[in-house]
Amino acid sequence: MAIPLKYNFRNLLVRRTTTLMTAFSITLTVAVFVVLMALAQGLQISLSATGQPLNVLIMREGAQSEATSSVTRDSLQVIKYLHGIAKTDKGEPWVSPELIVLINLPRRGETQGSNVTIRGLGPDGPALRPEFKMVQGRFFKSGLREVIASRKIAGRFQNCGLGDKVKFAKGYWTVVGIFEVGDTAYDSEIWADVNDLATDFDRDAYSSVMVRAADATGVAGLRDQIANDRRLHLKPQTEREYYDSQTRFAAPIKALGMFIAVLMAVGASFAAMNTMYAAVARRTKEIGTLRVLGYSRGSILLSFVLESVLIALLGGALGCLLALPVNGLTTGTTNFATFSEVAFNFCVTPALLLSGMIFAAVMGFLGGLFPAWRAAHENIVTALRSV
């Protein structure tokens, strides 16, 4: 027969000091695990949420990112009249030539800088991104050296707030608006007019061309037309495919998080093991009494393992609570595809909290298994004679 659960709960309460000390070590381990995984999760969501299925991004053949791509102006004229491109309200092809440049800006409160993406847009560029909305100020006007900055960039970098002047290329540009694009990768950019940007940086080609396909069949048709046109030497892919390919840069963060969490888990498991070994040593006579009352070795083994898991679950719950305040906080890291800053939010999801609790339970199980085995195999007579 099984030992009642109230026996385990009463033991945890009686030995509450050691219980809390062991739970605290697991709390820190689970909190670090959840925070690091939330960091990777936020980066992955930011990139994977970017893109419309009918938007086709056209870059130079062999280019890994827009920053290393080049599309000539002659190629743009060919692309505009490909079959399958949707039309704007004015009956024109829905096409946006775009230019990507990187500038180094200092972060707020720091002297150290980071690369920030400046995207030059064609007139139809904002409409290709339906999540786009202005939250302050107005949209930039062509020919006036004006830019708009994302809310996250404005909050993280100097001279990027509404009304500020940011220096790059051949002079100063005025920030006339703040925008958001639905927590996507575009929330890490500054936007300007593509022709103004090309003039200031002496660029005679674009980085990429974004087009809207009329339908899913149009996407496939555009792929075939571009791939088979020997004049172009360009690579078409959907906008979503392009940003999905960049989610692999979240993998090193996950790997680092797992590595740190495993190292801390080893220490937490030993803490749980020490606690349970001490409990076995203090309760040897109790164990002998339980055996005399008819409880089997399996029941005692299960009871002590369960007690260790309960301590770990307490620590896991506290660790999850400790990690919750980071949810939604904005941070940033380098996207090694574009070598520019990616701003994103920590994302603590229910699935991640469940993973933290499972991680805690595993630590408790491993930490309690060997002491429980020892308790279950105590000699009855020796145990009853112990002091």
Query: Mean pLDDT by 10-residue block, N- to C-terminus, for the chain (387 residues)?
Result: 70 77 85 87 80 91 90 92 90 93 90 89 93 95 95 93 93 96 91 95 94 91 88 90 78 74 78 73 72 78 84 91 91 70 87 92 85 75 60
pLDDT of residue 142: 93
Domain assignment present for 197: yes
> Residue 313 belongs to what domain range?
5-48+249-385
E-strand stretches of 94-244:
95-106, 113-121, 133-137, 146-150, 165-168, 171-180, 189-193, 205-206, 208-212, 234-238
Residue 19 shares a structural domain with residue 146: no
121-125: list long-range contacts, CB under 8 Å, 24+ apart: 121/96, 121/191, 121/192, 121/193, 121/194, 122/95, 122/96, 122/97, 122/98, 122/194, 123/96, 124/88, 124/92, 124/94, 124/95, 124/96, 125/96, 125/98, 125/191, 125/194, 125/210
Residue 257 shares a structural domain with residue 207: no
Domain boundary among 232, 266, 281: 232
Domain boundary among 170, 203, 232: 232
Residue 213 shares a structural domain with residue 346: no
Domain assignment present for 292: yes
Domain assignment present for 243: no
Closest among 234, 170, 167 to 205, alpha carbons compared: 234
Query: For the packed helices 251-282 and 350-376, what is the interaxial angle rounded to 10 degrees?
Result: 30
Residue 127 shares a structural domain with residue 152: yes
Residue 93 shares a structural domain with residue 173: yes
pLDDT of residue 337: 64
Q: Which residue has the tokens 């993406």?
A: 117
Specify the pTM.
0.78
pLDDT of residue 1: 58
pLDDT of residue 175: 97
Domain assignment present for 324: yes
pLDDT of residue 364: 85
pLDDT of residue 58: 94
> Phi and psi at residue 65, in whole multiples of 5°?
-155, 165
Residue 195 shares a structural domain with residue 273: no
Domain assignment present for 239: no
E-strand stretches of 255-384:
330-335, 340-345
Please give the structure tokens belonging to residue 149: 């900055």
Domain assignment present for 105: yes
Q: What Cα–Cα distance (Å) separates residue 337 from each residue in 67, 246, 278?
A: 9, 7, 52
Residue 145 shares a structural domain with residue 279: no
Domain assignment present for 53: no
Residue 106 shares a structural domain with residue 29: no
Residue 41 shares a structural domain with residue 165: no
Residue 311 shares a structural domain with residue 205: no
Residue 120 shares a structural domain with residue 144: yes
Please state, in angstroms and rounded to a whole number, the distance separating the CA atoms of residues 20 and 13.
10
Total tally of structural domains belonging to the chain: 2
pLDDT of residue 336: 63
Domain assignment present for 338: yes
pLDDT of residue 232: 87
Please give the structure tokens belonging to residue 17: 């000091």
Please state, in angstroms and rounded to a whole number, the distance separating the CA atoms of residues 309 and 371.
13
Domain boundary among 205, 232, 259: 232
Residue 368 shares a structural domain with residue 295: yes
